[in-house]
Amino acid sequence: MVDVFRTRKGDLLELLAQSGHITADEVQMVRQGLTESDEYPEQALLRRGLVSEEDIVHALVTRYSLPFITTEQYFAERAITSCMPTEFLMKYRVVPVDRFGDLIVVAVAGVVDPQVLDEVSRRTGCSVQLYVTTVSDIDRSLALLREGASRSAEGEEQEPSPDAAGILAEIEGEIEGEIEGELGEEIGQEAEELFEDLKKDLERLTPPSPKASGPDEGSA
């Protein structure tokens, strides 16, 4: 299925011009704009109001004989998306939707470089089954992926360093043993004060625990 973009070459602008949705002048105008921005053709076309999302879907489905999917009905489990960095998915605007054995379903909203899909296959160890979806569906799914990655990163940053509570308990136990043993009351008092100082230092250095959050949104 990845080979459809190799064997049936052509970009989205050409497809829409051939189907009469945009003119040759509009193709040239959009191409010029793409050299000055990091937009994809489908984004530029929609921003300029030259076509609708349905026009883009129809052009892709017709040209490449690809099925249509609404990603709102699905959302890839973390086991799938963790194989590919979120930055990669956002850069190339591809969204893993589901996995069936050694087959991974990937949604796109434009013509994708076959090498990108080869990379998806390499990272997941799966053959790629392509589906067409709308630009807004891709945007929504990528936003959810970005949000999930951000939450994961925040959780890792806030994870306490090696068991500060355990360190405190161990020190406290040693000091209490010394107080009850040979040290005597005066030295024991000094040891207690030392422990309190250490406790305050450790509490100050230990990051706060992350706030509890609800279940991940959109899990399959």
Write the secondary structure of 28-55 as one string of H (helix), E (strand) and C (coil).
HHHHHHHCCCCCCHHHHHHHHCCCCHHH
Name 99's bridge partners: 104
DSSP summary character for residue 71: G
Assigned token pair, 113? 């470089």
pLDDT of residue 212: 47
Backbone φ and ψ of 133, nearest 5°:
-140, 180
Q: What is the Cα Rg of the chain in Å?
A: 28
What pLDDT does 54 receive? 97
Give, in order, the Cα–Cα distances in Å from 68 to each of 28, 71, 82, 133, 190. Answer: 28, 10, 25, 6, 74
pTM reported for the whole predicted model: 0.65
Give me the pLDDT at residue 35, please: 92
| pLDDT string in tens for the chain (220-residue length) | 556 777 666 789 999 999 999 999 999 999 999 999 989 999 999 999 999 999 999 999 999 999 999 887 665 666 567 778 889 999 999 999 888 899 999 999 999 999 999 999 999 999 999 999 999 999 998 998 888 777 766 665 555 455 555 555 665 566 555 555 554 555 556 656 666 766 666 666 555 555 544 445 444 4
Distance (Å, whole) CA 98 – CA 105: 5
Given this model, what pLDDT does residue 52 score?
Answer: 97
